Amino acid sequence: MPLYHMLLDGATFHQVIAPTLAASWKERSFAPFRAAQAGLLAAAEEFSARHHLGGEEPLLFEKAAGLSFDRDLWKLLAGEMFLFAAREIPEIQISPETLVYLLSAENDWSGNVSRAEFTPIQQVLYGACDLVFASKIYRPEHAGYNDTADVSRLAAYLANQRPEYWTADLLPVERIEEEDRAEELEFAKEWFPDLCSLYERASRRGEIIICEVL
C-alpha cells in the first residue's frame, strides 16, 4: 500500500483543521465545517484543478447544504481537508521496510509495535503521534502525524544519518532475497536525500507532516 506524506502549514492545521474536526465529532454535526469551508475553498479549487477533478465537487463543498452527520463521511471529510490544505504531497519511492532495517537497531518490522514505541525512522515514515480530534482517532492503524517540534527533531535525525556506511548485510535474507539486497540498498541510498529534504523543508517552513497509508 502506498505511503503518502502531506506537508501542511502548522497554524492552519492547529487553528482551522483540528478544531473543526474536533467540534464536528463532539457535536455529531457537520455545521463546524461551514466556517472552515471559506478558508479552504481556494486551496480545494486549486487541488481540484491540479488533479483534473472536473465538475466533481469534493464533499467539503457540500457541507453548507446540511448533510446529516455520519462517521464514515466525517472520516472522508477529514481526509479531504488534509489533501486540500497540503502545500506538498511529495512522491517518495523509498521502501519503508528497507529503511527500518537499515536505521533501526531493533530491525523490527513485525507490525505489532505501538506508535509510542516507534523508532525515529518509524516516526519519520508513519508519524510520532496519532491524529486525535476530540475523542476520535483518525485511521489509527493507517495514519499519524509529526507536529512542528517532531518535524524539526526528525529533520535533525535524518541529517545525521550516513547512508554511505549502509551495507546489504543489514537487510535480512528472510525478508529480502539475497540477489535483490544490493539493488534494494542502492535504491534506498538514491531516494534517502529526498526524504531528508522533505523534512528539512517542512521544518524550515513551520509545517506539520501527516503520514498516511492508502
- Structural domain spans, the chain: 3-213
Assess if CATH 3.40.50.2000 describes domain 3-213: no
Joined grid coordinates for residue 12: 492552519
H helical segments located in 146-177: 148-159
What mean pLDDT is predicted for residues 169-195? 87
CA triplet 165, 168, 173: central angle to 5 degrees? 150
Are 33 and 78 in contact by the 8 Å Cβ rule? The answer is: no
Give the pLDDT score at 63: 62
How far apart are alpha carbons 20 and 93 in whole angstroms? 32
| Long-range contacts of residues 72-75, Cβ cutoff 8 Å, at least 24 apart | 73/30, 74/21, 74/24, 74/25, 74/30, 74/136, 75/138, 75/139
Higher-pLDDT residue of 4 and 43 is 4
Residue ranges with strand state E in the chain: 3-9, 86-88, 132-133, 136-137, 143-146, 207-213
Q: Per-residue confidence at 150, pLDDT binned at 50, 70, 90?
A: very high
3-state class (DSSP) for residue 94: coil
The DSSP line for 77-93 is HHHHHHHHHEEE-----
How far apart are alpha carbons 195 and 211 in whole angstroms? 13
Give the pLDDT score at 158: 98
How far apart are alpha carbons 90 and 87 in whole angstroms? 10
Q: Per-residue confidence at 69, pLDDT binned at 50, 70, 90?
A: very high
Joined grid coordinates for residue 115: 506508535
Are 119 and 106 in contact by the 8 Å Cβ rule? The answer is: yes
Are 143 and 209 in contact by the 8 Å Cβ rule? The answer is: no
What mean pLDDT is predicted for residues 184-201? 95
pLDDT, tens digit (0-9, with 9 covering 90-100), for 89-119: 988 888 888 999 999 865 555 556 788 889 9
Question: Amino acid identity, residue 146?
Answer: N
Question: Amino acid identity, residue 113?
Answer: V
Give the pLDDT score at 102: 92
How far apart are alpha carbons 34 and 1 in whole angstroms? 33
How far apart are alpha carbons 45 and 63 in whole angstroms? 15
Q: Is the pLDDT of residue 179 over 60?
A: yes
Q: Is the pLDDT of residue 176 over 80?
A: no
